[in-house]
Amino acid sequence: MKNKSLWIWIGIIAVLVLFFASGYNKMVKMDEAVKSQWAQVENVYQRRADLIPNLVNTVKGYADFEKSTLTQVIEARAKATSVQINANKLDPQSLQKFQAAQDQLSSALSRLMVVVERYPELKANQNFLELQAQLEGTENRIAVERRKFNEETRKYNTYIKRFPQVLYARIFGFGEKGYFKATEGAEKAPEVKF
């Protein structure tokens, strides 16, 4: 009788260990998926940062171009590329800091494109047109990769908050990840004046 109850307890413990191991392994897999998607986000932001010097140099060729606008773009790029996030620390505060720097760069690039409208010879320059098309494509890639990152993050955050994972996720170091959020005021349509 003692042997039978011992085997029952061993069986129960083995099932529990397998259950928790399975949950742990799934958290590891989901955490790695979030990190992998973060690497893709960084990749497309780096692509944009790499295009900017070429764009600035092309625009610089037009002597009467507003130097302050170019300076703002260069400074925003420097700031955006200096903000680095460790993939193991994708918390909301870190992402907010990263996003703020990227938003400043986006804003500076938008101002550059508005100013470019006043220079028809620049708008007709083939190098500028190609760089502008590449930049537009990169902005689309950024939006896609950010959406994918948020989706992986949502899956991960949902999983670690569900029962029974919530009981042991933090013990093993699996904390909530941050999301990319819309820039404040993005819900309002821009005002277009002619």
Structure tokens at 154: 């949502």
Residue 50 identity: D
Per-residue pLDDT, 30: 93
Tens-digit pLDDT profile for residues 43-57: 998 888 888 888 887
Tens-digit pLDDT profile for residues 143-165: 999 999 999 999 999 999 999 88
Tell me how far apart the alpha carbons of residues 67 and 51 are, in angstroms, rounded to a whole number: 19
Mean residue pLDDT across the chain: 82
pTM for the predicted model, two decimal places = 0.74
Q: Which residue has the tokens 């220079």?
A: 119
Which homologous superfamily does the CATH classification assign to the domain defined by 2-168?
Answer: LemA-like domain (1.20.1440.20)
CA dihedral 132, 137, 138, 144 (to 10 degrees): 150
Residue 183: pLDDT band with limits 50, 70, 90: low
What DSSP character marks residue 33? H
Tell me how far apart the alpha carbons of residues 194 and 151 are, in angstroms, rounded to a whole number: 39
Tens-digit pLDDT profile for residues 77-135: 888 888 888 888 888 888 888 888 888 888 888 888 887 777 777 777 777 788 888 88
Tell me how far apart the alpha carbons of residues 164 and 11 are, in angstroms, rounded to a whole number: 20
